[in-house]
């Protein structure tokens, strides 16, 4: 579905203005939110794609009114309640009211540096050959998704060219819905700017996105 987070190519938001010498965190609570999100993600209670969708799938007015880490905190609160780890009453009270539920894994502080260095690779074994190869001309689907997707709205129903074949990766659209990883081939697709944005595009500009095979069909 098209969500407020899908801002690419949307007019009316002005230029992106970089903050000079921007700090990593603007307040100490932001550091704590990031730590909480990473710690809870490491428990395996939900997937990375579930976490992303919890951040993105919010009322437009709410999403645009919240700061970056306020969005992360709101998503974490939603996931904690949905998975029965806290209650709405506990969030309102700011303290536990009933014994906490068990989690599958409990990350230890000493393990965090190695855990962050390792990351969470999404490359998986391919049980079928790639449908497309470098140089193939493709068109992205124009179907409005019903849940989480990594295909931005400005690139739907557009004609482009495969420039890189990345292998099979966890498919976010399925993984965000708790349907398993369902690995799919992943490609870099290059588009002419005019194909995406029409006459307002800078002459000669190209835009590349990474797109999963279900997003693509032969042009």
Predicted confidence at residue 3, as pLDDT, reads 83
Domain membership of residue 75 as a residue range: 28-118
- Identify the CATH number of the domain in which residue 201 sits: 2.30.30.50
Predicted confidence at residue 6, as pLDDT, reads 87
Between 100 and 41, the higher pLDDT residue: 41
In a shared domain, residues 113 and 137? no
Residue 207 has pLDDT above 80, yes or no: yes
In a shared domain, residues 129 and 213? yes
Residue 16 has pLDDT above 90, yes or no: no
Question: What is the rounded CA–CA span in Å between residue 170 and residue 121?
Answer: 9
Question: How many Cα atoms occupy the beta-carbon half-sphere of 28 within 13 Å?
Answer: 0
In a shared domain, residues 82 and 135? no
For the chain, how many structural domains are there in total? 2
Quick: pLDDT tens for 70-84.
Answer: 999 999 999 999 999
Predicted confidence at residue 146, as pLDDT, reads 83
- pTM, 2 dp: 0.90
In percent, the amount of the chain with pLDDT more than 90 equals 80
Question: What is the rounded CA–CA span in Å between residue 184 and residue 168?
Answer: 5
Q: What are phi and psi of 120, to 5 degrees?
A: -135, 80
Quick: pLDDT tens for 29-57.
Answer: 999 999 999 999 999 999 999 999 999 99
In a shared domain, residues 134 and 107? no
Predicted confidence at residue 126, as pLDDT, reads 94
- The contacts found for 166-170 with CB under 8 angstroms, 24 or more apart, are 166/210, 167/123, 167/126, 168/123, 168/124, 168/125, 168/126, 169/122, 169/123, 169/124, 169/212, 170/49, 170/122, 170/124
What is the average pLDDT across 92-111? 90
Residue 1 has pLDDT above 70, yes or no: no
In a shared domain, residues 86 and 139? no
- 173, 177, 182, 186 alpha-carbon torsion, rounded to 10°: 20
Question: What is the rounded CA–CA span in Å between residue 140 and residue 218?
Answer: 9
What is the average pLDDT across 125-148? 94
In a shared domain, residues 111 and 183? no
Quick: pLDDT tens for 143-158.
Answer: 888 889 999 999 999 9
Q: Which residues pair with 168 in a beta bridge?
A: 124, 185
What is the average pLDDT across 119-139? 96
Residue 2 has pLDDT above 80, yes or no: no
Question: In this structure, what token pair is assigned to residue 94?
Answer: 């700011």
Predicted confidence at residue 80, as pLDDT, reads 96
In a domain, 15, yes or no: no
In a domain, 21, yes or no: no
- Identify the CATH number of the domain in which residue 46 sits: 1.10.472.20
Are 216 and 140 a contacting pair, CB within 8 Å? yes
Last residue of one domain, picked from the residues 85, 118, 151: 118
Query: What sign does the CA torsion over 96, 98, 103, 107 have?
Result: positive
In a shared domain, residues 78 and 142? no
């Amino acid at each position: 579905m098209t969500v407020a987070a899908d801002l690419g190519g949307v007019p009316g938001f002005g230029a992106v203005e970089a903050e000079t010498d921007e700090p990593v965190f603007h307040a100490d609570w932001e550091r704590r939110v990031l730590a909480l999100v990473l710690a809870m993600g490491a428990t395996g209670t939900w997937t990375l794609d579930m976490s992303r969708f919890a951040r993105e799938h919010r009322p437009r007015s709410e999403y645009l009114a919240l700061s970056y880490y306020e969005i992360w905190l709101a998503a974490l609160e939603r996931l904690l309640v949905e998975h029965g780890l806290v209650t709405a009453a506990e969030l309102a009270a700011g303290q536990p009211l009933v014994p906490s539920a068990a989690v599958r894994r409990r990350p230890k502080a000493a393990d965090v540096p190695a855990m962050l260095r390792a990351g969470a690779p999404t490359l998986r074994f391919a049980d079928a050959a790639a449908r497309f190869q470098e140089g193939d001309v493709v068109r992205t689907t124009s179907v409005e998704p019903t849940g989480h997707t990594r295909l931005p709205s400005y690139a739907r129903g557009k004609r482009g060219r495969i420039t890189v074949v990345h292998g099979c990766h966890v498919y976010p659209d399925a993984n965000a819905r708790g349907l398993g990883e369902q690995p799919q081939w992943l490609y870099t697709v290059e588009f002419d700017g005019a194909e995406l944005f029409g006459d307002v595009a800078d002459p000669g500009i190209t835009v590349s996105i990474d797109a999963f095979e279900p997003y693509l069909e032969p042009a």
